[in-house]
Chains A and B, each alone.
Chain A
Amino acid sequence: MNNFLGDALLIARKDLAIEFRTRSAFLSVLVFALLGIVIFYFAWDSTAVSAADLAPGVLWVIFTFSGLLGLHRSFGVEQEEGAIDGLLASPVSREAIFLGKAGANLIFVLAVQAIAIPAVSLFYNLPLGGIALPLSAIAILAAIGLVAVGTLFSSMAANTRLSELLLPMLSLPFFVPIVIPAAQATAKLLSGRPVGEAMSWLRLLLAFDLVFVAACMLAYPFTLEE
Protein backbone atom coordinates (compact mmCIF):
# COMPACT_ATOMS: atom_id res chain seq x y z
CA MET A 1 0.00 0.00 0.00
CA ASN A 2 2.86 2.37 0.89
CA ASN A 3 4.56 1.55 -2.41
CA PHE A 4 1.31 2.09 -4.28
CA LEU A 5 0.77 5.53 -2.77
CA GLY A 6 4.48 6.35 -3.04
CA ASP A 7 4.45 5.55 -6.77
CA ALA A 8 1.27 7.58 -7.28
CA LEU A 9 2.83 10.51 -5.45
CA LEU A 10 5.99 10.25 -7.53
CA ILE A 11 3.98 10.37 -10.76
CA ALA A 12 1.84 13.28 -9.51
CA ARG A 13 4.96 15.22 -8.53
CA LYS A 14 6.50 14.57 -11.92
CA ASP A 15 3.36 15.81 -13.73
CA LEU A 16 3.16 18.92 -11.55
CA ALA A 17 6.88 19.63 -12.06
CA ILE A 18 6.33 19.45 -15.83
CA GLU A 19 3.31 21.75 -15.60
CA PHE A 20 5.17 24.15 -13.30
CA ARG A 21 8.04 24.35 -15.82
CA THR A 22 5.90 24.83 -18.91
CA ARG A 23 2.84 26.53 -17.39
CA SER A 24 1.28 26.19 -20.82
CA ALA A 25 -1.84 24.29 -19.80
CA PHE A 26 -2.48 26.24 -16.59
CA LEU A 27 -2.20 29.62 -18.27
CA SER A 28 -4.40 28.67 -21.19
CA VAL A 29 -7.04 27.18 -18.88
CA LEU A 30 -6.92 30.21 -16.61
CA VAL A 31 -7.28 32.62 -19.51
CA PHE A 32 -10.19 30.53 -20.81
CA ALA A 33 -11.89 30.58 -17.39
CA LEU A 34 -11.46 34.31 -16.86
CA LEU A 35 -12.56 35.09 -20.42
CA GLY A 36 -15.65 32.96 -19.85
CA ILE A 37 -16.50 34.86 -16.69
CA VAL A 38 -16.07 38.21 -18.48
CA ILE A 39 -18.15 37.16 -21.50
CA PHE A 40 -20.97 35.88 -19.30
CA TYR A 41 -20.80 39.13 -17.35
CA PHE A 42 -21.25 41.31 -20.43
CA ALA A 43 -24.03 39.09 -21.79
CA TRP A 44 -25.88 39.27 -18.46
CA ASP A 45 -29.03 41.36 -18.04
CA SER A 46 -29.04 42.00 -14.30
CA THR A 47 -32.65 43.28 -14.40
CA ALA A 48 -33.90 39.95 -15.77
CA VAL A 49 -31.73 37.41 -13.92
CA SER A 50 -30.24 37.87 -10.46
CA ALA A 51 -26.51 37.29 -9.90
CA ALA A 52 -27.28 34.44 -7.50
CA ASP A 53 -29.31 32.68 -10.21
CA LEU A 54 -26.71 33.15 -12.93
CA ALA A 55 -23.44 32.53 -11.03
CA PRO A 56 -23.84 28.76 -10.41
CA GLY A 57 -24.35 28.17 -14.13
CA VAL A 58 -21.38 30.36 -15.04
CA LEU A 59 -19.14 28.62 -12.52
CA TRP A 60 -19.96 25.07 -13.59
CA VAL A 61 -19.92 25.73 -17.32
CA ILE A 62 -16.46 27.24 -16.88
CA PHE A 63 -15.18 24.46 -14.62
CA THR A 64 -16.48 21.76 -16.94
CA PHE A 65 -14.87 23.12 -20.09
CA SER A 66 -11.68 24.48 -18.53
CA GLY A 67 -11.29 21.09 -16.83
CA LEU A 68 -11.51 19.37 -20.20
CA LEU A 69 -8.85 21.70 -21.60
CA GLY A 70 -6.51 20.90 -18.74
CA LEU A 71 -7.20 17.17 -18.71
CA HIS A 72 -6.36 16.91 -22.38
CA ARG A 73 -2.72 17.63 -21.63
CA SER A 74 -2.55 14.95 -18.91
CA PHE A 75 -1.58 12.13 -21.25
CA GLY A 76 -0.29 14.47 -23.95
CA VAL A 77 2.99 14.78 -22.03
CA GLU A 78 3.28 10.99 -22.00
CA GLN A 79 2.84 10.72 -25.75
CA GLU A 80 5.40 13.29 -26.97
CA GLU A 81 8.46 11.03 -26.73
CA GLY A 82 6.66 7.78 -25.95
CA ALA A 83 7.29 8.23 -22.20
CA ILE A 84 4.14 6.24 -21.43
CA ASP A 85 6.03 3.12 -22.61
CA GLY A 86 8.71 3.84 -20.03
CA LEU A 87 6.04 4.10 -17.33
CA LEU A 88 4.23 0.96 -18.45
CA ALA A 89 7.46 -1.03 -18.66
CA SER A 90 8.37 0.01 -15.10
CA PRO A 91 7.24 -2.00 -12.06
CA VAL A 92 4.60 0.60 -11.16
CA SER A 93 1.01 -0.67 -11.12
CA ARG A 94 -1.41 0.74 -13.68
CA GLU A 95 -3.70 1.85 -10.86
CA ALA A 96 -0.87 3.86 -9.27
CA ILE A 97 -0.26 5.57 -12.63
CA PHE A 98 -3.96 6.47 -12.76
CA LEU A 99 -4.00 7.73 -9.19
CA GLY A 100 -0.83 9.78 -9.72
CA LYS A 101 -2.08 11.40 -12.88
CA ALA A 102 -5.53 12.01 -11.38
CA GLY A 103 -3.88 13.55 -8.29
CA ALA A 104 -1.89 15.98 -10.41
CA ASN A 105 -5.01 16.81 -12.43
CA LEU A 106 -6.95 17.43 -9.22
CA ILE A 107 -4.41 19.96 -7.97
CA PHE A 108 -4.48 21.58 -11.41
CA VAL A 109 -8.29 21.88 -11.43
CA LEU A 110 -8.41 23.08 -7.81
CA ALA A 111 -5.84 25.78 -8.61
CA VAL A 112 -8.06 27.01 -11.46
CA GLN A 113 -11.10 26.94 -9.16
CA ALA A 114 -9.21 28.87 -6.46
CA ILE A 115 -8.82 31.75 -8.91
CA ALA A 116 -12.12 31.46 -10.78
CA ILE A 117 -14.45 31.36 -7.75
CA PRO A 118 -13.21 34.68 -6.27
CA ALA A 119 -13.30 36.14 -9.81
CA VAL A 120 -16.99 35.20 -10.15
CA SER A 121 -17.66 36.62 -6.69
CA LEU A 122 -16.00 39.88 -7.73
CA PHE A 123 -17.72 40.24 -11.12
CA TYR A 124 -21.18 39.31 -9.88
CA ASN A 125 -20.83 41.08 -6.54
CA LEU A 126 -21.58 37.94 -4.54
CA PRO A 127 -20.06 37.93 -1.06
CA LEU A 128 -18.75 34.43 -0.33
CA GLY A 129 -17.57 35.00 3.24
CA GLY A 130 -20.30 33.00 4.98
CA ILE A 131 -20.41 30.14 2.48
CA ALA A 132 -16.72 29.82 1.64
CA LEU A 133 -16.33 26.51 3.46
CA PRO A 134 -19.35 24.62 2.03
CA LEU A 135 -18.65 26.11 -1.41
CA SER A 136 -15.06 24.84 -1.20
CA ALA A 137 -16.39 21.39 -0.24
CA ILE A 138 -18.65 21.37 -3.34
CA ALA A 139 -15.78 22.51 -5.56
CA ILE A 140 -13.42 19.84 -4.19
CA LEU A 141 -15.99 17.02 -4.40
CA ALA A 142 -16.98 17.96 -7.93
CA ALA A 143 -13.34 18.32 -8.98
CA ILE A 144 -12.62 14.76 -7.74
CA GLY A 145 -15.41 13.32 -9.90
CA LEU A 146 -14.55 15.40 -12.97
CA VAL A 147 -10.87 14.53 -12.69
CA ALA A 148 -11.50 10.78 -12.24
CA VAL A 149 -13.64 10.62 -15.38
CA GLY A 150 -11.45 13.04 -17.33
CA THR A 151 -8.21 11.23 -16.51
CA LEU A 152 -9.64 7.91 -17.70
CA PHE A 153 -10.91 9.33 -20.99
CA SER A 154 -7.79 11.43 -21.49
CA SER A 155 -5.81 8.19 -21.46
CA MET A 156 -8.22 6.57 -23.92
CA ALA A 157 -8.25 9.55 -26.25
CA ALA A 158 -4.50 10.25 -26.14
CA ASN A 159 -3.63 7.48 -28.59
CA THR A 160 -6.16 8.54 -31.19
CA ARG A 161 -5.89 11.03 -34.02
CA LEU A 162 -9.06 12.83 -32.91
CA SER A 163 -8.15 13.10 -29.24
CA GLU A 164 -9.24 16.74 -28.93
CA LEU A 165 -12.70 15.81 -30.19
CA LEU A 166 -12.92 12.44 -28.50
CA LEU A 167 -12.15 13.59 -24.95
CA PRO A 168 -15.15 15.95 -24.61
CA MET A 169 -17.42 13.52 -26.48
CA LEU A 170 -16.56 10.71 -24.09
CA SER A 171 -16.33 12.78 -20.91
CA LEU A 172 -19.28 15.15 -21.06
CA PRO A 173 -22.04 12.54 -20.62
CA PHE A 174 -20.22 11.24 -17.53
CA PHE A 175 -19.68 14.78 -16.22
CA VAL A 176 -23.47 15.33 -16.04
CA PRO A 177 -24.05 13.36 -12.78
CA ILE A 178 -21.27 15.42 -11.18
CA VAL A 179 -22.17 18.84 -12.57
CA ILE A 180 -25.91 18.66 -11.76
CA PRO A 181 -25.55 18.16 -7.96
CA ALA A 182 -22.59 20.57 -7.87
CA ALA A 183 -24.56 23.31 -9.65
CA GLN A 184 -27.69 22.65 -7.57
CA ALA A 185 -25.77 22.79 -4.29
CA THR A 186 -23.95 25.95 -5.41
CA ALA A 187 -27.29 27.57 -6.32
CA LYS A 188 -28.71 26.79 -2.87
CA LEU A 189 -25.72 28.36 -1.17
CA LEU A 190 -25.52 31.46 -3.38
CA SER A 191 -29.25 32.16 -2.99
CA GLY A 192 -28.77 32.30 0.78
CA ARG A 193 -30.49 29.00 1.67
CA PRO A 194 -29.19 27.18 4.76
CA VAL A 195 -26.27 24.80 4.20
CA GLY A 196 -28.48 21.91 5.33
CA GLU A 197 -30.56 22.28 2.14
CA ALA A 198 -27.50 21.64 0.01
CA MET A 199 -26.52 18.54 1.97
CA SER A 200 -28.59 16.09 -0.07
CA TRP A 201 -26.83 17.29 -3.24
CA LEU A 202 -23.48 17.04 -1.48
CA ARG A 203 -24.22 13.45 -0.46
CA LEU A 204 -25.16 12.64 -4.05
CA LEU A 205 -21.92 14.24 -5.22
CA LEU A 206 -19.94 12.17 -2.74
CA ALA A 207 -21.67 8.98 -3.88
CA PHE A 208 -20.86 9.71 -7.55
CA ASP A 209 -17.26 10.48 -6.57
CA LEU A 210 -16.86 7.11 -4.88
CA VAL A 211 -18.40 5.28 -7.82
CA PHE A 212 -16.42 7.17 -10.47
CA VAL A 213 -13.06 7.02 -8.70
CA ALA A 214 -13.37 3.26 -8.09
CA ALA A 215 -14.77 2.49 -11.56
CA CYS A 216 -12.25 4.66 -13.41
CA MET A 217 -9.29 3.24 -11.50
CA LEU A 218 -10.43 -0.31 -12.25
CA ALA A 219 -11.13 0.50 -15.90
CA TYR A 220 -7.88 2.39 -16.47
CA PRO A 221 -5.59 -0.63 -17.12
CA PHE A 222 -7.90 -1.71 -19.98
CA THR A 223 -7.45 1.64 -21.72
CA LEU A 224 -3.73 0.90 -22.04
CA GLU A 225 -4.05 -2.35 -23.92
CA GLU A 226 -3.17 -2.21 -27.60
Chain B
Amino acid sequence: MNGNQAAVIEAESLVRAFGDRRAVDGVSLRVHSGETLALFGPNGAGKTTLLRLLGGLLKPEGGSARVGGEKVPGGADVRRQVGLISHRTLLYDALTARENVEFFARLYRVASPREAAARALERMKIADRSETPVRALSRGMKQRVSVARATVHSPTVILADEPFTGLDASGARALSALLAELRESGSAVVLVTHNIEEGLSLATHAAIMHRGRLVRTDERKSFDAGDYASSYRELVTAGE
Protein backbone atom coordinates (compact mmCIF):
# COMPACT_ATOMS: atom_id res chain seq x y z
CA MET B 1 0.00 0.00 0.00
CA ASN B 2 1.47 3.35 -1.08
CA GLY B 3 4.97 1.94 -1.43
CA ASN B 4 7.10 5.13 -1.41
CA GLN B 5 5.84 6.56 1.86
CA ALA B 6 6.83 5.21 5.28
CA ALA B 7 3.98 3.15 6.72
CA VAL B 8 2.31 4.38 9.92
CA ILE B 9 1.25 0.84 10.83
CA GLU B 10 3.63 -1.92 9.89
CA ALA B 11 3.50 -5.63 10.71
CA GLU B 12 6.08 -8.14 9.59
CA SER B 13 5.37 -11.88 9.88
CA LEU B 14 3.41 -11.42 13.11
CA VAL B 15 2.69 -14.60 15.03
CA ARG B 16 0.60 -15.09 18.14
CA ALA B 17 -0.72 -18.41 19.42
CA PHE B 18 -3.08 -19.37 22.22
CA GLY B 19 -2.18 -22.89 23.26
CA ASP B 20 -1.76 -24.96 20.12
CA ARG B 21 -3.79 -22.63 17.94
CA ARG B 22 -2.08 -19.87 16.00
CA ALA B 23 -4.56 -16.99 16.13
CA VAL B 24 -2.27 -14.82 14.01
CA ASP B 25 0.04 -16.75 11.75
CA GLY B 26 2.68 -14.77 9.89
CA VAL B 27 0.67 -11.65 9.07
CA SER B 28 2.44 -8.81 7.26
CA LEU B 29 0.73 -5.54 6.41
CA ARG B 30 1.39 -1.84 5.92
CA VAL B 31 -1.06 1.01 6.37
CA HIS B 32 0.03 4.53 5.47
CA SER B 33 -1.14 7.93 6.61
CA GLY B 34 -4.56 8.70 5.13
CA GLU B 35 -5.39 5.06 4.42
CA THR B 36 -8.13 2.86 5.83
CA LEU B 37 -7.66 -0.88 5.75
CA ALA B 38 -10.95 -2.76 6.11
CA LEU B 39 -10.22 -6.18 7.53
CA PHE B 40 -12.80 -8.89 6.98
CA GLY B 41 -12.92 -12.46 8.12
CA PRO B 42 -15.13 -15.04 9.80
CA ASN B 43 -15.31 -15.48 13.57
CA GLY B 44 -12.06 -16.82 14.97
CA ALA B 45 -10.04 -15.63 11.96
CA GLY B 46 -7.65 -13.73 14.26
CA LYS B 47 -8.78 -10.16 13.48
CA THR B 48 -9.18 -9.07 17.11
CA THR B 49 -5.87 -10.68 18.08
CA LEU B 50 -4.17 -8.85 15.22
CA LEU B 51 -5.63 -5.54 16.40
CA ARG B 52 -4.56 -6.25 19.99
CA LEU B 53 -1.05 -6.97 18.73
CA LEU B 54 -0.98 -3.71 16.77
CA GLY B 55 -2.37 -1.84 19.78
CA GLY B 56 0.37 -3.22 22.04
CA LEU B 57 -2.08 -5.11 24.25
CA LEU B 58 -0.52 -8.44 23.31
CA LYS B 59 3.10 -9.39 22.77
CA PRO B 60 3.86 -11.16 19.50
CA GLU B 61 5.53 -14.55 19.71
CA GLY B 62 7.12 -14.04 16.32
CA GLY B 63 7.63 -11.20 13.88
CA SER B 64 7.31 -7.56 14.77
CA ALA B 65 4.92 -4.63 14.60
CA ARG B 66 5.60 -0.91 14.41
CA VAL B 67 3.33 2.08 14.84
CA GLY B 68 4.67 5.45 13.73
CA GLY B 69 8.06 3.81 13.31
CA GLU B 70 8.19 2.61 16.91
CA LYS B 71 8.02 -0.99 17.98
CA VAL B 72 4.88 -2.24 19.72
CA PRO B 73 4.32 -3.06 22.50
CA GLY B 74 6.16 0.15 23.22
CA GLY B 75 6.35 3.10 25.53
CA ALA B 76 4.09 6.05 26.17
CA ASP B 77 4.97 7.80 22.90
CA VAL B 78 3.71 5.00 20.70
CA ARG B 79 0.60 4.39 22.83
CA ARG B 80 -0.26 8.10 22.64
CA GLN B 81 -0.65 7.79 18.85
CA VAL B 82 -3.25 5.04 18.97
CA GLY B 83 -7.01 5.21 19.43
CA LEU B 84 -8.52 1.85 20.24
CA ILE B 85 -12.21 1.17 19.58
CA SER B 86 -13.48 -2.22 20.62
CA HIS B 87 -16.74 -4.12 20.45
CA ARG B 88 -16.59 -3.80 24.26
CA THR B 89 -17.07 -0.22 25.40
CA LEU B 90 -13.93 0.04 27.61
CA LEU B 91 -15.93 2.47 29.79
CA TYR B 92 -16.67 2.73 33.50
CA ASP B 93 -20.38 2.18 34.04
CA ALA B 94 -20.58 4.21 37.26
CA LEU B 95 -19.06 7.35 35.70
CA THR B 96 -20.94 9.70 33.41
CA ALA B 97 -20.21 9.89 29.70
CA ARG B 98 -18.30 13.15 30.20
CA GLU B 99 -16.31 11.82 33.15
CA ASN B 100 -15.26 8.77 31.15
CA VAL B 101 -14.08 10.77 28.14
CA GLU B 102 -12.48 13.47 30.29
CA PHE B 103 -10.62 10.83 32.32
CA PHE B 104 -9.04 9.45 29.18
CA ALA B 105 -8.37 12.95 27.81
CA ARG B 106 -6.37 13.65 30.98
CA LEU B 107 -4.49 10.35 30.69
CA TYR B 108 -3.51 11.34 27.13
CA ARG B 109 -2.55 14.84 28.35
CA VAL B 110 -4.99 16.56 26.01
CA ALA B 111 -4.99 20.33 26.49
CA SER B 112 -8.27 21.54 28.08
CA PRO B 113 -9.54 18.00 28.70
CA ARG B 114 -13.06 19.05 29.68
CA GLU B 115 -13.57 21.02 26.47
CA ALA B 116 -11.97 18.24 24.41
CA ALA B 117 -14.32 15.70 26.00
CA ALA B 118 -17.31 17.94 25.22
CA ARG B 119 -16.17 18.26 21.58
CA ALA B 120 -15.65 14.49 21.24
CA LEU B 121 -19.11 13.77 22.63
CA GLU B 122 -20.62 16.44 20.38
CA ARG B 123 -18.95 14.84 17.35
CA MET B 124 -20.61 11.53 18.19
CA LYS B 125 -23.96 13.33 18.77
CA ILE B 126 -24.23 12.24 22.39
CA ALA B 127 -23.50 15.60 24.07
CA ASP B 128 -27.06 15.85 25.40
CA ARG B 129 -26.41 12.76 27.54
CA SER B 130 -22.96 13.77 28.72
CA GLU B 131 -23.97 13.93 32.40
CA THR B 132 -25.77 10.57 32.33
CA PRO B 133 -24.01 7.63 34.01
CA VAL B 134 -22.88 5.20 31.33
CA ARG B 135 -24.84 2.37 32.98
CA ALA B 136 -28.07 4.25 32.18
CA LEU B 137 -27.27 4.50 28.46
CA SER B 138 -28.38 2.07 25.77
CA ARG B 139 -25.76 -0.15 24.08
CA GLY B 140 -25.66 2.10 21.04
CA MET B 141 -25.22 5.24 23.13
CA LYS B 142 -22.45 3.57 25.10
CA GLN B 143 -20.72 2.78 21.82
CA ARG B 144 -20.92 6.46 20.83
CA VAL B 145 -19.28 7.41 24.13
CA SER B 146 -16.70 4.69 23.56
CA VAL B 147 -15.80 6.16 20.16
CA ALA B 148 -15.57 9.64 21.75
CA ARG B 149 -13.24 8.15 24.39
CA ALA B 150 -11.01 6.54 21.77
CA THR B 151 -10.72 9.65 19.60
CA VAL B 152 -10.60 12.44 22.20
CA HIS B 153 -6.81 12.73 21.80
CA SER B 154 -6.96 12.97 17.97
CA PRO B 155 -4.95 9.79 17.39
CA THR B 156 -2.91 9.29 14.23
CA VAL B 157 -3.72 5.57 14.28
CA ILE B 158 -7.21 4.16 14.76
CA LEU B 159 -7.65 0.47 15.52
CA ALA B 160 -11.36 -0.20 15.35
CA ASP B 161 -12.74 -3.65 16.18
CA GLU B 162 -16.39 -3.90 15.16
CA PRO B 163 -16.92 -0.22 16.02
CA PHE B 164 -20.47 -0.19 14.60
CA THR B 165 -21.68 -2.68 17.25
CA GLY B 166 -25.02 -1.51 18.64
CA LEU B 167 -25.06 1.79 16.75
CA ASP B 168 -28.30 2.95 15.14
CA ALA B 169 -28.34 4.62 11.71
CA SER B 170 -27.54 8.05 13.13
CA GLY B 171 -24.69 6.69 15.28
CA ALA B 172 -23.30 4.71 12.35
CA ARG B 173 -23.39 7.85 10.17
CA ALA B 174 -21.61 9.87 12.86
CA LEU B 175 -18.94 7.18 13.21
CA SER B 176 -18.50 6.85 9.43
CA ALA B 177 -18.11 10.62 9.15
CA LEU B 178 -15.60 10.65 12.01
CA LEU B 179 -13.52 7.81 10.52
CA ALA B 180 -13.55 9.53 7.12
CA GLU B 181 -12.55 12.84 8.75
CA LEU B 182 -9.71 11.19 10.65
CA ARG B 183 -8.48 9.47 7.50
CA GLU B 184 -8.59 12.74 5.55
CA SER B 185 -6.65 14.46 8.30
CA GLY B 186 -3.90 11.87 7.83
CA SER B 187 -4.75 9.16 10.36
CA ALA B 188 -4.18 5.52 9.44
CA VAL B 189 -7.19 3.33 10.20
CA VAL B 190 -7.55 -0.43 10.54
CA LEU B 191 -11.23 -1.28 10.60
CA VAL B 192 -12.36 -4.78 11.53
CA THR B 193 -15.94 -5.50 10.57
CA HIS B 194 -18.25 -8.27 9.42
CA ASN B 195 -20.28 -5.82 7.37
CA ILE B 196 -18.64 -5.83 3.95
CA GLU B 197 -20.65 -2.93 2.49
CA GLU B 198 -19.98 -0.71 5.50
CA GLY B 199 -16.30 -1.60 5.58
CA LEU B 200 -15.76 -1.08 1.86
CA SER B 201 -17.53 2.28 1.91
CA LEU B 202 -14.83 3.60 4.26
CA ALA B 203 -11.83 1.66 3.00
CA THR B 204 -8.95 2.63 0.75
CA HIS B 205 -7.73 -0.97 1.01
CA ALA B 206 -9.38 -4.24 1.98
CA ALA B 207 -8.02 -7.50 3.31
CA ILE B 208 -9.49 -10.85 4.22
CA MET B 209 -8.17 -12.82 7.15
CA HIS B 210 -8.80 -16.51 7.55
CA ARG B 211 -7.35 -18.93 10.09
CA GLY B 212 -4.79 -16.41 11.26
CA ARG B 213 -3.51 -15.50 7.81
CA LEU B 214 -4.15 -12.63 5.43
CA VAL B 215 -5.43 -14.49 2.39
CA ARG B 216 -6.22 -11.50 0.21
CA THR B 217 -5.24 -7.81 0.20
CA ASP B 218 -6.49 -5.34 -2.42
CA GLU B 219 -6.64 -1.67 -3.14
CA ARG B 220 -10.28 -0.60 -2.88
CA LYS B 221 -10.43 0.99 -6.32
CA SER B 222 -9.24 -2.22 -7.97
CA PHE B 223 -12.48 -4.20 -7.46
CA ASP B 224 -16.25 -3.97 -7.47
CA ALA B 225 -17.94 -4.14 -4.05
CA GLY B 226 -20.52 -6.72 -5.16
CA ASP B 227 -17.88 -9.03 -6.65
CA TYR B 228 -15.77 -8.67 -3.51
CA ALA B 229 -18.66 -9.64 -1.25
CA SER B 230 -19.40 -12.78 -3.24
CA SER B 231 -15.77 -13.81 -3.51
CA TYR B 232 -15.43 -13.28 0.27
CA ARG B 233 -18.36 -15.59 0.90
CA GLU B 234 -16.94 -18.19 -1.47
CA LEU B 235 -13.53 -17.98 0.17
CA VAL B 236 -14.90 -18.39 3.64
CA THR B 237 -17.27 -21.20 2.64
CA ALA B 238 -14.47 -23.05 0.85
CA GLY B 239 -12.27 -22.76 3.92
CA GLU B 240 -14.84 -24.25 6.29
- Contact digits for B57-89, partner A, Cβ 8 Å, 1 yes 0 no: 111000000000000000111011010101011
What number of A residues sit within 8 Å (CB to CB) of B?
A: 24
**Interface range on chain B: under 10, 10 to 19, 20 to 34, or 35 or more?**
20 to 34
Q: How many A-B residue pairs have CB under 8 A?
A: 75
Stretch at the interface among B26-34, B102-110, B209-217: B102-110
Closest to B59 in A: A225
Q: Complex: how many Å from CA A89 to CA B67?
A: 13
Q: Which of B58, B92, B150 contacts A83 (CB 8 A)?
A: B92
Stretch at the interface among B38-46, B93-101, B169-177, B228-236: B93-101
Find out whether the CB atom of B80 lies under 8 angstroms from the CB atom of A91. yes
Find out whether the CB atom of B84 lies under 8 angstroms from the CB atom of A17. no
Find out whether the CB atom of B89 lies under 8 angstroms from the CB atom of A93. no
- Contact digits for A73-94, partner B, Cβ 8 Å, 1 yes 0 no: 0000100111101111111110
Residues on A with beta carbons closer than 8 Å to the beta carbon of B86: 82, 85
Within A14-66, the residues touching B (CB, 8 Å) are: 14, 17-18, 21-22
Find out whether the CB atom of A85 lies under 8 angstroms from the CB atom of B90. yes
Closest to B79 in A: A91
Within A150-200, the residues touching B (CB, 8 Å) are: none
Contact A86/B90 with A10-B103, A17-B99 known, Cβ cut-off 8 Å? yes
Q: Complex: how many Å from CA A80 to CA B134?
A: 12
A-B contact pairs, 27 of them (CB 8 A): A10-B103, A14-B103, A17-B95, A17-B99, A21-B94, A21-B95, A22-B94, A80-B93, A81-B93, A82-B89, A83-B92, A85-B84, A85-B88, A86-B84, A86-B90, A86-B104, A86-B149, A86-B150, A88-B56, A89-B56, A89-B57, A89-B79, A90-B79, A91-B107, A91-B108, A91-B109, A92-B107
Given known contacts A18-B92, A87-B107, A226-B57, what 8 new A-B pairs fall within 8 Å (CB)?
A7-B107, A18-B94, A22-B94, A85-B84, A86-B104, A89-B82, A91-B77, A93-B76
Residue positions of A touching B, CB distance < 8 A: 3, 7, 10, 14, 17-18, 21-22, 77, 80-83, 85-93, 225-226
